[in-house]
Structure 1
Amino acid sequence: MILGLQFGRHCNTHCLITAILVTVVGVVNGSTQISVDEDLQNLLGRCHNQSGDDYNNCMKQTFNDLRAFFTTGVPTYNIKPFDPHHCGFVELRRGDIHGPGNFKLILRNISEYGWSRSEVTKVHTDTEDQRIVYAQYFPEKSLEGQYEFKAHMLGAELRRRGHWNMTLYDYSQTTSVQRVGAPGSLLKVHVEVDRIGGMELHIENLLGQPLNQLADGVINSMWQLGLPFVRPMINELVSSAFTDIFNESFRYFPLEKFLS
């Protein structure tokens, strides 16, 4: 949900937050280069001359006015849709895989749905650090993909793989986006889970048949107890995935072309 733009000498944090809009909205309601450029010109110039709280509030309102366009992306500028959005690979490791209690988790071919119904509730800019922080609420978000898990536990190696899917209800997150280095350098994205009101999770082959249904039941009835322990890992996985997604689609978007 952030656009990786090339900052000019005079392009400050307001340029960066303006760029979020292209990512969040994914505007394509015309079939020609001219219509796309006109749409982006009107869109990106909406809040450009404002500052401070007025700018933040204008951007928040603009995001939410254009939620319907999450599904389209901007193919002309290689901006991919965000509902659903896809991530091919994300990995989480803890310690030496051959050590006791350590593990490696790989998620592949991840699809995530629910962005069109989300709402940006707060936007904050940090000019000095070139950082944007925004809060987002999802009444429902769902994810699915393939997983591979490897660990050493109690002297034995554990390997599992299969399909997984998860639905989150009454969910909110805060995303921080910062450019590190000179114009054209990579964006750094960090996502924090703020609230999960409800969750349904299915992990294929976690315990093997016929115990897998039992495992689902235990996870879905007791996930709140384990959330404080797994929240940091969720934040790390999501942050890693979105850093890759944002840089792939938005690193070289020609933002200054559309600023009034």
Structure 2
Amino acid sequence: MPMQSLSNCNNHGFLLFAIIFVGLANVAQSSSQIDVDEDLKHLLGRCHSQAEDFNDCMKQVFNDLRAYFTTGIPDHNIKPFDPHYSPYVELRRGDPHGLGSFSLILRNVSEFGWSRSEVTKFHADIEDQRIVYTQYFPEKSLEGQYEFKAKMLGSDLSRQGYWNLTLYDYSQTTSVRRVGKPGSLIKVHVEVDRIGGMELHIDNLLKGQPLNQLADGVINSMWQLGLPFVRPMINELVSTAFTDIFNESFRNFPLEKFLNQT
């Protein structure tokens, strides 16, 4: 991504983090790209990297832009975040030639609830080219197709079908870091902080509709007991999906157009 060289290191860091944050906000309200560009300049211009309230200012900018999460910016190849879409996410564990292993593939995943979310904390680490923010969702829902394969002590298990998940009173902390110069890869890591409630349905988990309904009931009544064990896998799945999406949408965003470089 082309970028004018800056003499001030702090300004350079501010530009880097602001562009990632702008990408997250997905600001696009009108059909005129000129109006959108002017809006970006106006909103970001009120936050100054060396001011004491910079982190609070950027947190407010993010929350001011929630209404635009549903639109994206087509002219800049930024896709909507509500619904948030991921075509393919994969998780693997174990040795397929050993005692046990499994693979989980999620396809065509749609995630809803971003327009009602709120950023409660924001921090920019200029030296490390990183932003970290905590986001609260009163309700977040996901749906898609799954493929699950496992091998345990010589026995094979294979399942596939539709799934949906709704989370209530949910919060997560996201770390976004650019590796190298502008235009280089963006890495994203997501940590689940809190889940106040959950409803999960998985088609074909067990054979037969009555057993499948029973499985849903057991999962939804006992998920809190299993959360410490599955939380690392949830973090990995979400982080992988977000890294792909952020790089596709934000890696080559023309940041020099929108930010004050003085």
| Superposition TM-score tier, normalisation by shorter sequence | over 0.9
- Give the superposition deviation at 1:228: 0.4
Identity %: 73
Q: 1:168 aligns to what?
A: 167
Specify whether residues 9 and 232 from structure 1 end up closer, same or farther in structure 2 by C-alpha distance, changes over 3 A only.
farther
Could you give the per-residue CA deviations for residues 110-157 of structure 1, whole angstroms, max 9, x where no partner exists?
000000000000111112211111000000000000000111123210
CA distance in 2, matches of 1:54, 1:27: 22
Specify whether residues 223 and 96 from structure 1 end up closer, same or farther in structure 2 by C-alpha distance, changes over 3 A only.
same
CA distance in 2, matches of 1:8, 1:233: 40
Structure 2 unaligned residues grouped into runs of 5+: none
CA distance in 2, matches of 1:220, 1:73: 34
- Give the superposition deviation at 1:17: 2.7
CA distance in 1, matches of 2:195, 2:69: 22
Q: 1:60 aligns to what?
A: 59
Query: Do the aligned partners of 1:16 and 1:132 also contact (CA within 8 Å) in 2?
Result: no
Structure 1 unaligned residues grouped into runs of 5+: none
Report the TM-score when normalising by structure 2. Answer: 0.93
CA distance in 2, matches of 1:144, 1:38: 36
- Give the superposition deviation at 1:166: 0.1
Look up the equivalent residue of 1:192 and give its one-letter code.
E
Specify whether residues 185 and 222 from structure 1 end up closer, same or farther in structure 2 by C-alpha distance, changes over 3 A only.
same
1:258 corresponds to 2:258? yes
- Give the superposition deviation at 1:173: 0.3
Query: Do the aligned partners of 1:98 and 1:151 also contact (CA within 8 Å) in 2?
Result: no
User: Any runs of at least 4 consecutive aligned residues in structure 1 with deviations exceeding 6 A, and if so which?
Assistant: none
Tell me whether 13-22 or 54-63 shows the greater mean CA deviation. Answer: 13-22
CA distance in 1, matches of 2:21, 2:179: 20
- Give the superposition deviation at 1:186: 0.5
What SS does structure 1 have at the residue aligned with 2:243?
helix
CA distance in 2, matches of 1:36, 1:132: 24
How many residues of Structure 1 are paired with residues of Structure 2 in the alignment? Answer: 255
Any residues of structure 2 matched to 1:89-238 within 5 Å, and which?
A: 89-209=88-208, 210-238=210-238
Query: Do the aligned partners of 1:17 and 1:132 also contact (CA within 8 Å) in 2?
Result: yes
- Give the superposition deviation at 1:59: 0.5
CA distance in 2, matches of 1:95, 1:56: 41
Query: Do the aligned partners of 1:180 and 1:188 also contact (CA within 8 Å) in 2?
Result: yes
CA distance in 2, matches of 1:178, 1:6: 19
- Give the superposition deviation at 1:34: 1.8
Specify whether residues 189 and 75 from structure 1 end up closer, same or farther in structure 2 by C-alpha distance, changes over 3 A only.
same
- Give the superposition deviation at 1:208: 1.8
Query: Do the aligned partners of 1:84 and 1:112 also contact (CA within 8 Å) in 2?
Result: yes
What SS does structure 1 have at the residue aligned with 2:195?
strand
Report the TM-score when normalising by structure 1. Answer: 0.93
CA distance in 1, matches of 2:241, 2:249: 13
What SS does structure 2 have at the residue aligned with 1:89?
strand
Q: 1:80 aligns to what?
A: 79
CA distance in 2, matches of 1:7, 1:217: 54
Tell me whether 236-245 or 204-213 shows the greater mean CA deviation. Answer: 204-213
Could you give the per-residue CA deviations for residues 155-210 of structure 1, whole angstroms, max 9, x where no partner exists?
21000000000000000000001111232111010000000000000011011213
- Give the superposition deviation at 1:99: 2.6
Provide the aligned C-alpha RMSD in A.
1.5
Q: 2:34 aligns to what?
A: 34
Specify whether residues 161 and 7 from structure 1 end up closer, same or farther in structure 2 by C-alpha distance, changes over 3 A only.
farther
- Give the superposition deviation at 1:35: 1.6
Look up the equivalent residue of 1:12 and give its one-letter code.
H
What SS does structure 2 have at the residue aligned with 1:151?
strand
Look up the equivalent residue of 2:116 and give its one-letter code.
R
Specify whether residues 7 and 149 from structure 1 end up closer, same or farther in structure 2 by C-alpha distance, changes over 3 A only.
farther
Look up the equivalent residue of 2:162 and give its one-letter code.
H
